[in-house]
Structure 1
Amino acid sequence: MRHLSTISRATLAIALVFGAAGEAFAQADAPQDAEAEPQDAIIVTGTRVTGLKASDSPTPVQVLGADLLKRVGQTDLMQALGQNLPSIQVQAFGNDQTAFHPSIKLRGLNPNHTLVLVNGKRRHGTSNVVVTNALWTGGAAPDIGLIPQDSIERLEVLQDGAAAQYGTDAIAGVVNIILKKNASGGVINVTGGKYFAGDGLNQSYMGNVGFAPIEDMYVSVTAEHKVHDYSFRGDVDPRVVDTGQSGSANTGSNGGRTILARYPGVKNFPNYPYVNRIFGDGRMILTNVMYNAGYTGIEGIEIYSFGTLSRRVGRTYQNYRLPNVVYGKSAQASVNTANPTGDIPFKAGFSPQEVLRELDFAITSGVKGEFGNTTVDASLTYGRDTNKVYVEGSANAALYYDSSTLTQNGYSPSDVHDGDFVGSQWVAALDLTHELDIGMAQPLNIAGGLEWRRERYELVAGEPASYYVGSGFLQGGIQSFFGYSPANASAHTREDFSQYLDLSIKPIDPLLIDAAVRHEHYTDFGDTTVFKGTARYDITPTFAIRGTASTGFRAPTLAEGYYSGINVSVSSLSGIFAPNSAGAAFLGLSGLKPEKSTNFSAGVVVRPFDGMTITLDGYSIYLRDRIVQSAGFTGYSNNCKYLPGGYTQGMDVNAAKAAFTGTCTGFISPSVLDALAANGVPIIPVITAINGGASGSLNVNAFVNGLNTVTQGLDFLATYTTDFGDWGRVDWSVAANYNKTRVSSIGAPPSKVNQLQGIFDRYAQSAVTDASPKWRLNYGIFWQKGIFSVSLRESIYGKTKLLASRPANANIDYYQHVGTKGITDIEVGIEPKKGLKLAIGANNLFDIYPDKLPADIRQEQYNLSSTAYISQYPSFSPIGINGGYYYARVTAKF
């Protein structure tokens, strides 16, 4: 079945649902009406008017109930969103630390462009910014994976710019998570599953209980513990097999023939020849606890509080290191020769792991009340996210070498603390609404408020062994993740004070007009004012038109402004500089500017008959001074061999080349080398050390205001409910999104780097414009009769591609392609007794994988003994790389 074509799978799904599609966006346990259709649900997002239905909203708002979220099989909230809303794309694969903080994109924009609320209150972001994934770079948005599903009553997703209503970072839209307020009863869910390939075991234990300690009080507590194990979808590591290539006689970094001759113990390394386990999921253990509480014993007033506490430990494999990477002085002369002798601690090589230990918590408290026609809501929120980063099973090659003698072995700790990322946020908010009868079809609804926000971002230095550089003979820093020295440590804060006014009126019954204005003052970026105007006109009871125009302004996150880091692979060293750092100044950078946006949208709402709702909304988002991760500015390339002590700061290009080698043919940029030195980074990766150098590179980048982009698209949703009487009830829907981004202009490169390189190269541009599906379509059905239920969904993803350079000739480009793919999800449930439900299901039922990288490209990688050969599938694939997943779930309600 894995080899069924996309068309045949789609045809099968359509046939099964009698031509309907997409799983129904049902709202479960809705407080206003448990039987309400999703578009009849009363919403609180995208409007300040009380009692407005989703189907009557002037902007597109999708409502997802708790039962629907459960039917995706995987318990992560991001997966539930991504599988149900085509306009939301979920990061399908992550490496390094980003493997544990997957993000979501709304309408194709960056994760930072979507505002996340919990019970209408701003959620703090993660302190772990994405810097190793071009599609998601810069993302430091709130981690909604820390919200357990059993705590949720429903989700409301506003698919429209809302900066003037909620805050200047709501450029793409808003996700509002509404929590349960149950004062009794509860639920326990136990879920287990794994990939069809047999790995990636997932275990989840989750439960919610509600109780009332005193009269007129509710306390709802949810706890979750889940474990996700490693998966592996890579291929052999060609460096440790006989590729038929002689490789480098000096380093042995290429060519398994030479490595196996020198180090036959490599064959004893676990999983040989699949020694490099970097291409797959990491292992994660996550515990979440959440509460939502309130007291309503005072007439017209509610005192409330809610909060979360999360603990995560994650591990990801890094590139396998060959035996000749770490050695002592007694092995210096023979480490890359036949029959090496002396101090070589890893005779079979080693495989470092990056380890994350995260603690995240948030708490909100407030009071709200009704005083006649006026409502008041005052709240205070504090959130904090701490990520402690470690490397385990590794070594610092420079420290090991420098601590050795000709008669004594060297020493390096194998488990090292690299440093910490810490982010926190205070938010104090006051929101007021008032209804004023001015003689029109409905009273004028006046909403206004104040918000004060204080943010802090901190980089904490790690252990000396993580950043030790030493004599410069061998590469400094712990292998795979160069640590943070005290010189790199920093702490930065800023404050923002905002005021907003929102007016909503129905001059005549069919016409709804909403206008909002917001002013914000940042202590680091000054003042801005943004606007939003929305209108809806119901031409008939069954047909309405709606449209919006708005502006937005997003200040860079503190993580974008101040994160810095070094990544060391087996053949390169790359760094990212904080835009305000001393190193960035050597490149000609002077910090970031805010982004500005202009949004337009227009759509229709059609209700041709009872039970069916159809919405179609088009949008256009103009984003100026877009913050992106720049192209890598090259320090040197090719086989420029470093001569220890030969380079000093301030040399010109010719002198720099001579300092590396008198016959250097590669590219040299003194400003980049000076920038690295200014940030305390060594400029000597292992590829240039000892007796010679193989092809490799050294480059740096930074977050920059590099682009102006235009994103345009369409959102479509049709839902229908059929009651077949004795045959049960069926919810049908079809949901689709078309989204296209183009780059309208590119900024100039920094003044002190090679101007021919550009600030945002064609490969990075391709990640923005090509690597997300232009269209996505969901078909499905949910049928329920008595104790039985069946959920079926077919998700079809359009083609994607990504520009890359050929391994054997970087001057020749090619596209990595992932063709149109259809993914079938199914769940079958039975409720043998009231309150007990058993379910089995599968995501990606037919075990569909992305298209492999082209065979000729992989052959070049293999011939070059490149570690890139291990990644046989494009990591940007929207369907992921792991194939099918099956699961079982037991639910007990009480």
Structure 2
Amino acid sequence: MNMTISRLAKSVRYGIAVSAAAGVMTTMSVSAQEAETDTAAADVEKIAIVGTRAAPRSIGDSAVPIDIIGDEEFKNQGSTDMVSMMQSVVPSFNVNDQPINDASTLVRPANLRGMASDHTLVLVNGKRRHRSAVITFLGGGLSDGAQGPDISVIPAAALKQVEVLRDGAAAQYGSDAIAGVVNFVLRDDAEGGSVEARMGSYYEGDGDMMQVSANVGMPLTDDGFLNVTAEYRTADATSRSVQRDDAQALIDAGNTAVADPAQIWGNPEIKDDIKLFANLGLDLGDDREAYMFGNYAERTVDGGFYFRNPHNRGGVNDGGTNADGEQLLLVGDLTGDMSGNCPTDIVVGDNVLENPRYINEVANNPDCFAFNEMLPGGFTPRFGGDITDMSLVFGTKGFLDNDVRYDVSVNLGRNEVDFAIRNTINPSLGPDTPTSFKPGKYIQQEQTLDIDLGKPFEVGLYDALYLAGGFQYRHETYESIAGDPASYEIGPLASQGFGIGSNGFPGLSNKSQNKASRHNIAFYLDAEAYLTEDFMLTAAIRYEDFSDFGSTSKGKLAARWQITDTVALRGAYSTGFKAPTIGQSNVRNVTTAFGTDGRLIDRATLPPTDPISVQKGGTVLTPEESESYSMGMVAEFDNGLFLTVDYYHIEVTDRISTTSGIKLTEEDIAALLAQGVTDASSFSEVSYFTNDFDTTTEGVDIVANYSMEMFGGDTKFSLAYNWTSTTVDQASENISPDRVHMIEDNLPAVRYSVTANHNNGDWRFLARVNYTGSIFEDHLDSGLPIDNVGSEFTLDLEAGYHFNDQFQVVVGAKNALDEYPDENVLWDTEIAGAKYPVTSPIGINGGFYYVRGVYTF
């Protein structure tokens, strides 16, 4: 595949140059042409179903800010996974690469309006999307412990549009909608379709990507449709690493078994990423219809992990130090009765492999064993897993004879992650250890029943008062399933100081298996009316009762005032909540991370009600509570300019997250062992979920669109701007100062993009300038501050040509000028070999070029 894409490089880069020239010409001539009002009106008349339970409204008529992203806006960019696509078109939507971040590598957390990834409610066709089974134990500070849906399973080819409600909406839709709502609307064509093939690669020659997708619409009898989408994708890994000092020192001392680089920072490898989506609708007559939609998706992810130094990796090679502070080698006795008299005082020096005592007393002694015999250069595990996602929603909606609108649906969702780790060991098994493991799986399942009713009432106002009410029942289950026995087995060398379980990600034991569930019921009431021709008022109230922590009631008021023919003002006030997930309340996990002392450690994440968590301050989780307000302006000018400016202010109390690592004392470990946690001696730190800090987030969103004729074609210009600031108002001692700094400053305060999209006959040219402000990074979440990861401009370019009505070819580049973040000069070789700050908002991989062919029918 590498050779195939390399042959395309010359022609693709030529196409990029043509696109760049066209983009510059387009941008320079904005003021030289006048807009066509009809064309502009067509651009802004976008209809959304999210944010209201009355008739769908244009985004300009909404009382709250809504973005509508059409399917073409997703297709016209270099990203291929939905998370990155969203970041390209919604400026307040942020996502970082997760090159080495445990389960976050499998499902990347994304952030809307500066909030955690599970503060945004995700809908498909207006129905709640189930959560991922992946909990982001290491989420870059802001999303630590978050458990949101996996939107990467949604193929862009299946979408008609995406609606982004940028306002608190928990009173309308329930838990999680603190930051807003994202609604993915599926295609409903009953005929036609498209097939697309795409290939691409990073400028450095790695990360080769191949994707094939197809969408087809078919009639379902004479009164319905069946629309089906399939997508297949693979992506090779990338590497943006430098050699670590400790690994280089081993090489310099003659250890030829150490890899260069010993540790890889980059995108994981994605294998067999398969996505299937189907959307069905059938007209039943008399303003009634039946509908059904669902998906199946699976993919395999294989990512990097931290290098294990063959001299001092704890539980593998680290035998402690002698009186002179010299590092000793951990040696195991294989006799079973300790009759081997194996040495415990071998000094590793610069290269223990050349130490005569190691050679004579260990390597050539069948009674004694050190892992340097099996892994002389140390080892770097590869961590990933198989993700399977499926859903099915079916229901019926329409109108009764008394003008009552109804919508009754059943929603089933399931997400499973089956972890895998290879190139590692279970140290306690000694030379009999396997080197690859299946350490267990997590499964999230949800079943939902929705009954929604609505009816307009004439009450003497300018327009009818629309009332909507409904009921929801939801049942959730989170299940932990044990891994293969070797991944958690306590081997014969455990009593001699060797670690237990698959190193890097110990398997879930039979004792850790758990299946927890809960249910909740909800009732809601919405009201919406025009009090006058120019003034609209909406209100919502929602009551929910959860079986595990009790009930809550939330409300919302929003208004829109058309003050002139051109300008309208809008604003909203709401209270909201996010319920602790069933996974957050019950999950057990062990992750490898850099500890508070700057060394690799195994950190156990325990339920907050576990006795050791309680001993360290853990309590039963309660909901997060929010209070937010927004105010803004909508302007639609006669010259075709469409402009929205919105300010938002969100206060969240009792936010749920994992604590920073808490060191375990010998007494703590003894208490764990007494509870039957037999591998407790492997833990250095513990963490648990807790309601532990409060935040205030405020920001401004600016969205502008302008269309005009130029160069004999049509050009659309768009601006999307976001400023966000988050302050931690209160945090307990369980949240470290560096973690607070990450929550406040790890996302760019300012992000914006300016796009020009020009269509001229058979040609189309796109240029997009992106800006991301500076950030702070606590490198590896280990008290290693990078105070200023500088701001960056990047440029995306694309050029397309229609050979006929059915077939077009597109070439383009994401980050066409091959920009990188500031190099990590503070902690690169000294710590873990990361060449760049790993949470950089522009990523660490540089420019990416691609070519795609699209056939429509």
TMscore range, shorter length? 0.7 to 0.9
- Determine which of 799, 818, 825 is the counterpart of 1:828: 799
User: Are the aligned partners of 1:201 and 1:228 in contact in 2 as well (CA < 8 Å)?
Assistant: yes
- Matched with 2:759 is 784
Q: How does 1:262-281 map to 2 (within 5 A)?
A: 264-267=255-258, 272-281=259-268
User: Are the aligned partners of 1:584 and 1:675 in contact in 2 as well (CA < 8 Å)?
Assistant: no
Q: Which amino acid aligns with 1:886?
A: Y
- Matched with 1:126 is 132
Query: Which digits, 9 at most, give the CA deviation of each residue in 1:221-261, with x for residues without a partner?
Result: 1001100111011111322323xxxxxxxxxxxx655xx44
Deviation at 1:567?
2.1
- Determine which of 43, 48, 51 is the counterpart of 1:46: 51
1:541 and 2:565 matched: yes
- Matched with 1:18 is 28
- Determine which of 323, 333, 343 is the counterpart of 1:329: 333
- Determine which of 843, 846, 850 is the counterpart of 1:880: 843
Q: Assess, with a 3 A threshold, how the Cα gap between structure 1 residues 762 and 266 changes in structure 2: closer, same or farther.
A: same
- Matched with 1:526 is 550
- Matched with 2:395 is 366
Deviation at 1:20?
6.6
User: Are the aligned partners of 2:647 and 2:698 in contact in 1 as well (CA < 8 Å)?
Assistant: yes
- Matched with 2:322 is none
Secondary structure class of the residue paired with 1:472: helix
Q: Which amino acid aligns with 1:885?
A: F
Deviation at 1:609?
1.6
- Matched with 1:750 is none
Q: For residues 418 and 806 of structure 1, what CA distance do their matches in structure 2 show?
A: 24
Q: How does 1:291-310 map to 2 (within 5 A)?
A: 291-310=278-297
Q: Assess, with a 3 A threshold, how the Cα gap between structure 1 residues 14 and 164 changes in structure 2: closer, same or farther.
A: farther
Q: Which amino acid aligns with 1:130?
A: T
User: Are the aligned partners of 1:574 and 1:700 in contact in 2 as well (CA < 8 Å)?
Assistant: yes
1:148 and 2:191 matched: no
Q: For residues 754 and 46 of structure 2, what CA distance do their matches in structure 1 show?
A: 22
Secondary structure class of the residue paired with 1:445: strand
User: Are the aligned partners of 1:232 and 1:281 in contact in 2 as well (CA < 8 Å)?
Assistant: no
TM-score by length of 1: 0.84
Secondary structure class of the residue paired with 1:98: helix
1:87 and 2:92 matched: yes
Q: Which amino acid aligns with 1:129?
A: I
User: Are the aligned partners of 2:642 and 2:704 in contact in 1 as well (CA < 8 Å)?
Assistant: yes
User: Are the aligned partners of 1:104 and 1:111 in contact in 2 as well (CA < 8 Å)?
Assistant: yes
1:794 and 2:769 matched: yes
Deviation at 1:698?
2.1
- Determine which of 474, 478, 486 is the counterpart of 1:453: 474
Q: Assess, with a 3 A threshold, how the Cα gap between structure 1 residues 232 and 146 changes in structure 2: closer, same or farther.
A: same
Q: For residues 873 and 117 of structure 1, what CA distance do their matches in structure 2 show?
A: 35
- Matched with 1:891 is 854
Q: Assess, with a 3 A threshold, how the Cα gap between structure 1 residues 501 and 468 changes in structure 2: closer, same or farther.
A: same
- Matched with 1:765 is 740
- Determine which of 115, 135, 150 is the counterpart of 2:121: 115
Q: Assess, with a 3 A threshold, how the Cα gap between structure 1 residues 185 and 476 changes in structure 2: closer, same or farther.
A: same
1:718 and 2:704 matched: yes
Q: For residues 564 and 525 of structure 1, what CA distance do their matches in structure 2 show?
A: 20
Secondary structure class of the residue paired with 1:425: strand
Query: Which digits, 9 at most, give the CA deviation of each residue in 1:365-399, with x for residues without a partner?
Result: 00011225221110001000111112222211111
Q: For residues 579 and 37 of structure 1, what CA distance do their matches in structure 2 show?
A: 53
Q: For residues 124 and 263 of structure 2, what CA distance do their matches in structure 1 show?
A: 40
1:162 and 2:169 matched: yes
Q: For residues 41 and 673 of structure 1, what CA distance do their matches in structure 2 show?
A: 63
Q: For residues 848 and 239 of structure 2, what CA distance do their matches in structure 1 show?
A: 14
- Matched with 2:6 is none
- Matched with 2:600 is 571
Q: For residues 496 and 585 of structure 1, what CA distance do their matches in structure 2 show?
A: 26
- Determine which of 445, 451, 470 is the counterpart of 1:430: 451
Secondary structure class of the residue paired with 1:487: helix
CA RMSD after TM alignment:
2.5
Q: Assess, with a 3 A threshold, how the Cα gap between structure 1 residues 715 and 879 changes in structure 2: closer, same or farther.
A: same
User: Are the aligned partners of 2:270 and 2:299 in contact in 1 as well (CA < 8 Å)?
Assistant: no
Q: Assess, with a 3 A threshold, how the Cα gap between structure 1 residues 34 and 69 changes in structure 2: closer, same or farther.
A: farther
1:738 and 2:718 matched: no
Secondary structure class of the residue paired with 1:769: helix
Secondary structure class of the residue paired with 2:103: helix
1:844 and 2:815 matched: yes
User: Are the aligned partners of 1:234 and 1:280 in contact in 2 as well (CA < 8 Å)?
Assistant: no
Q: Assess, with a 3 A threshold, how the Cα gap between structure 1 residues 678 and 765 changes in structure 2: closer, same or farther.
A: farther
Secondary structure class of the residue paired with 2:257: helix
Deviation at 1:12?
12
Structure 2: give runs of 5+ residues left out of the alignment.
1-19, 32-37, 318-330, 335-339, 594-598
Deviation at 1:91?
2.8
1:104 and 2:104 matched: no
Q: Which amino acid aligns with 2:28?
A: F
Q: For residues 109 and 744 of structure 2, what CA distance do their matches in structure 1 show?
A: 18
Q: Which amino acid aligns with 1:186?
A: G
- Determine which of 189, 194, 212 is the counterpart of 1:187: 194
- Matched with 1:643 is none
User: Are the aligned partners of 1:582 and 1:679 in contact in 2 as well (CA < 8 Å)?
Assistant: no
353-362 vs 329-338, greater mean Cα deviation = 329-338
Q: For residues 761 and 195 of structure 1, what CA distance do their matches in structure 2 show?
A: 37
- Matched with 1:631 is 660
- Determine which of 701, 721, 726 is the counterpart of 2:687: 701
Q: Which amino acid aligns with 2:524?
A: Y
Q: For residues 309 and 782 of structure 1, what CA distance do their matches in structure 2 show?
A: 34
Q: Assess, with a 3 A threshold, how the Cα gap between structure 1 residues 396 and 153 changes in structure 2: closer, same or farther.
A: same
1:397 and 2:430 matched: no
- Matched with 2:495 is 472
Q: For residues 205 and 154 of structure 1, what CA distance do their matches in structure 2 show?
A: 20
Q: For residues 721 and 238 of structure 2, what CA distance do their matches in structure 1 show?
A: 31
Secondary structure class of the residue paired with 2:486: helix
Q: Which amino acid aligns with 2:168?
A: G
- Matched with 1:517 is 541
- Determine which of 789, 804, 821 is the counterpart of 1:818: 789
1:171 and 2:171 matched: no
User: Are the aligned partners of 1:130 and 1:138 in contact in 2 as well (CA < 8 Å)?
Assistant: yes
User: Are the aligned partners of 1:163 and 1:170 in contact in 2 as well (CA < 8 Å)?
Assistant: yes
- Determine which of 273, 295, 300 is the counterpart of 1:313: 300
Q: Assess, with a 3 A threshold, how the Cα gap between structure 1 residues 723 and 11 changes in structure 2: closer, same or farther.
A: closer
1:69 and 2:57 matched: no
- Matched with 2:11 is none
Secondary structure class of the residue paired with 1:839: strand
Secondary structure class of the residue paired with 1:17: helix
Deviation at 1:217?
1.9
Q: Assess, with a 3 A threshold, how the Cα gap between structure 1 residues 34 and 412 changes in structure 2: closer, same or farther.
A: farther
Q: Assess, with a 3 A threshold, how the Cα gap between structure 1 residues 94 and 174 changes in structure 2: closer, same or farther.
A: farther
Q: For residues 206 and 422 of structure 2, what CA distance do their matches in structure 1 show?
A: 22
Deviation at 1:92?
2.6
Q: Which amino acid aligns with 2:300?
A: V
1:593 and 2:618 matched: no
Q: For residues 674 and 772 of structure 2, what CA distance do their matches in structure 1 show?
A: 45
Structure 1: give runs of 5+ residues left out of the alignment.
1-9, 22-32, 243-254, 401-409, 637-655, 657-669, 686-696, 748-757
- Matched with 2:144 is 137
User: Are the aligned partners of 2:612 and 2:668 in contact in 1 as well (CA < 8 Å)?
Assistant: no
Deviation at 1:277?
2.1
Query: Which digits, 9 at most, give the CA deviation of each residue in 1:808-838, with x for residues without a partner?
Result: xx7xx74342111011001000001001111
Q: For residues 675 and 529 of structure 2, what CA distance do their matches in structure 1 show?
A: 58
- Matched with 1:693 is none
Q: For residues 127 and 803 of structure 1, what CA distance do their matches in structure 2 show?
A: 27
Q: For residues 181 and 754 of structure 2, what CA distance do their matches in structure 1 show?
A: 24
